Chain A
């Protein structure tokens, strides 16, 4: 089970998941960018000694390429971590709400990922994990500028708090660019589905703090929460407006998308994400009944490239992949034809 996918959280009609990530480095050891292989093992050992029962440590070198990609698709690790998989590792707890990336851009990146709008809870979990590691590991910390990170964009708190928001109505009504510009102006970054440098698909936006220095963790999270509360309200208002003015058109769009997902035999990832966005909106507006948000999360995650192949048990070409994806989605929606 993966908590953010299979569990429910507050405001999950708009906010799919909340995440807090803390970047940490071990004193006196070069950052991963300048690290030789022998030393990366030393970091593994330090982390292994600091974690307790209930956590699984996996060196990425011992995993298959498919499994590594699945971890990315579940948002448990960043695409960046698997680029240098021979020198990196991941620690996971049982419900995968805590993951620790080892030797990504920094030695240690503690990540807490929860369903819905739960930033305070996510910070609490990450903070406690950080306290636990700190008992055994001596962090690189500077009195003036805080936690030292490989990229100066993370220095200070080393914290990136983010939410994954589904904003279809703001996109349809073309308010989204104004909302995102406003978010940008007050120091928030907006990114695509897999974080840095990835495109927005299925109306999913990852919104996070840009600055990490000069504000406390609580302030940063408070600021993001305030802005997101407003964006959630704006998205709900836009949905209400669409319903009030274009109910039949909106229903038509949602039912058509459902019809395609329920029946299609060939589905590309891009098309699938587009259609799932409509389904998610339909569920949030109670137009589509008998589907819950977990099921949509599951479809969203399982229809990604590596997941489809994992399900098939072998690597597939694009054509076979699209066929397998369509089958998977039909089954998940209860169509066994």
Chain B
């Protein structure tokens, strides 16, 4: 879909505007949306459309995805093509089934590739400790960069303490 304003670039921002109780759909490219203050004043960004547009742009990329080889999740039957349409994965195993394509998409949406937040107890003590050590090491690197040596020393001790925790058999 082309941008309604410039008719040149692809429309990636899809907004609904209410004027005199009438709904109007407006489709703009990112650049025109940025320039159009009026539209931004009372319009939301639609995250689903945003995702779909990222998927579209992946599809349009010069590196054509191999269409003949259909990727499908064995567990729930979700095909990658269907996922692209609806923007929803069918089950947690889909992440493994689409491992060739998903990480790139996730990186584009999230800007990151690795989870650093909460870890459920079911994931096991060992993973929790490993993750915590990783996080502390990252923090340590930053401290050294910003020359916060006192804090760095504290972090190093914490890491050593965690590394000496005996591994649970699970």
Could you tell me if A157 and B118 are in contact, using CB atoms closer than 8 angstroms?
yes
Q: Which residue of A lies closest to B14 (CB)?
A: A197
Give the residues from 143 to 189 in chain A that come closer than 8 angstroms, CB to CB, to chain B: 143-153, 155-157, 159, 171, 174, 176-177, 180-181, 184, 187, 189
Tell me if A's interface is mostly helix, strand, loop or mixed.
loop
Q: CB of B156 within 8 A of chain A?
A: no
Q: Is residue B86 within 8 Å, beta carbon to beta carbon, of the partner chain?
A: yes
B149 is an interface residue with CB less than 8 A from chain A: no
Whether the pair B106, A213 counts as a contact (CB closer than 8 A) is yes
B residues near A30, Cβ cutoff 8 Å: 75-76, 90-91
A31 touches B88 (CB 8 A): yes
With the chains together, A167 CA to B115 CA distance in Å? 34
Mark interface residues in A125-155 (1 if CB within 8 Å of B CB, else 0). Answer: 0010010001100111111111111111101
Contact flag A215-B44 (CB < 8 Å), given A27-B92, A29-B91, A156-B117? no
B17 in contact (CB, < 8 A): yes
Return the chain B residue nearest A146 by Cβ.
B115
Instruction: Please determine whether A34 and B76 come into contact, CB atoms closer than 8 angstroms.
Output: yes
A144 to B106, CA, bound (A): 12
For window 1-46 of chain B, which residues contact chain A by CB distance below 8 Å? 16-18, 21, 34, 37, 40-46
Q: Give Cα A144–Cα B117 distance, bound, in whole angstroms.
A: 11
* A11 to B114 Cα, complex, angstroms: 35
Cα(A28)–Cα(B43), bound, Å: 39
Q: How far is the CA of A147 from the CA of B95 in the complex (A)?
A: 11
A186 to chain B, nearest CB (A): 11
Residues of chain B contacted by A142 (CB below 8 angstroms): 92, 95, 115
List of B residues within 8 angstroms of A138 by Cβ:
122
Interface centre among B21, B34, B115, by most A CB within 10 Å?
B115
Residues B106 and A189 in contact, CB atoms below 8 Å apart: no
Known interface pairs A30-B90, A140-B92, A213-B110. Does A196 touch B120 (Cβ–Cβ under 8 Å)? Answer: no
CA distance A215 to B115 in the complex (A): 7
Q: Is the CB of A148 within 8 A of B95?
A: yes
A214 touches B114 (CB 8 A): yes
Provide the residues of chain B in CB contact with A141, threshold 8 Å: 119-120, 122-123
Which of A31, A184, A199, A216 is B17 in contact with, Cβ under 8 Å?
Answer: A199
Is A190 a contact of B44 with CB atoms below 8 Å? yes
Compute how far the CA of A144 lies from the CA of B110 in the bound complex, rounded to whole angstroms: 14
Between A142, A151, A174, the greatest number of chain B beta carbons within 10 A of the residue's beta carbon is seen for A151
* In the assembled complex, B142 has its CB within 8 A of some CB on chain A: no
Chain A residue numbers with a CB within 8 Å of B49 are: 197
Residue of A nearest to B91 (CB): A30
- Inter-chain contact A156/B122, CB cutoff 8 Å: no
Interface flag for A217 (CB, 8 Å)? yes
Instruction: State whether B18 touches A270 (Cβ < 8 A).
Output: yes
Nearest A-chain residue to B55, judged by Cβ: A152
Once the chains are docked, how many angstroms separate the CA of A191 from the CA of B50?
13
Which of A27, A144, A213, A216 has the most B CB atoms < 10 Å from its CB?
A213
> Judging by beta carbons under 8 Å apart, are B111 and A189 in contact?
no
Can you list 21 A-B pairs with a CB-CB distance of less than 8 A? Answer: A33-B86, A34-B91, A139-B122, A140-B92, A141-B123, A143-B127, A144-B113, A145-B114, A150-B89, A152-B51, A156-B110, A176-B41, A177-B37, A190-B44, A197-B16, A211-B111, A212-B110, A213-B113, A214-B114, A214-B116, A215-B116
